[in-house]
Structure 1
């Protein structure tokens, strides 16, 4: 796993690059976020869709809710980048829409878009 630390508008963001699945449940997510926060001093993260176990995107498993609740509870912010159009679940599409309307978790298509969202979360779109 490689972590690139970016600083934009005096906000530090950890961009994670890895070929591995990093998050399989709430515990692995919290371990990852805590490690990055400790080692890099960042509480905002950019992860790729491939970093999450596939069952994360099946809302019935509860993994997405568990992971994202940790982000909110620990006052962190997360952008997940990928192609979410591959999922046909209406409930997942609604969930992604709701998350993107908030201020803590975003599902986006590019790293550039993710960094912008994480550094300008108060801006109205």
Structure 2
């Protein structure tokens, strides 16, 4: 499936194709944000599309990508199993925990969890 705009819990969300291109640079993030400017309020991207540097906080790639989404006032949901990354990094565990407490960037296991979270916050 290509990336597609979907209405979920009253929000327009760009649901990214798991087989789509990886997000490996800040330009890739900017391009994804540009695609969302067709009306999306949130982007849901599969964790597998994120470069491994995203999950190694010392590279600062995650922070730069997340800041770009914040700057454009676009919410981000990272969808998928990131347990192996969490097991390897207490700093990443802390980041995910803090992010999931807020409303702008979430790390969720699947689209069902995204739907549940959206319904709980509306």
TM-score (normalised: structure 1): 0.85
Instruction: Tell me the distance in 2 between the aligned counterparts of 1:115 and 1:44.
Output: 12
Asked if 1:14 corresponds to 2:14, the answer is: yes
Instruction: Tell me the distance in 2 between the aligned counterparts of 1:56 and 1:37.
Output: 23
| Match in the other structure for 2:80 | 82
Give RMSD over aligned pairs. 1.8
**Unmatched runs of 5 consecutive residues or more in structure 2:** none
Match among 26, 29, 42 for residue 44 of structure 1? 42
Q: 1:95 to 1:105 in 2, by over 3 A?
A: same
Q: CA-to-partner distance for each residue in 1:21-78, whole Å, 9 max, x for gaps?
A: 431122210111112323xx21311110111111110000010000000111111101
Instruction: Tell me the distance in 2 between the aligned counterparts of 1:3 and 1:85.
Output: 25
How many aligned positions are there? 120
Instruction: Tell me the distance in 2 between the aligned counterparts of 1:19 and 1:26.
Output: 19
| Match in the other structure for 1:106 | 106
Q: CA deviation at 1:3?
A: 1.6
Q: 1:121 to 1:102 in 2, by over 3 A?
A: farther
**Unmatched runs of 5 consecutive residues or more in structure 1:** none
TM-score (normalised: structure 2): 0.87
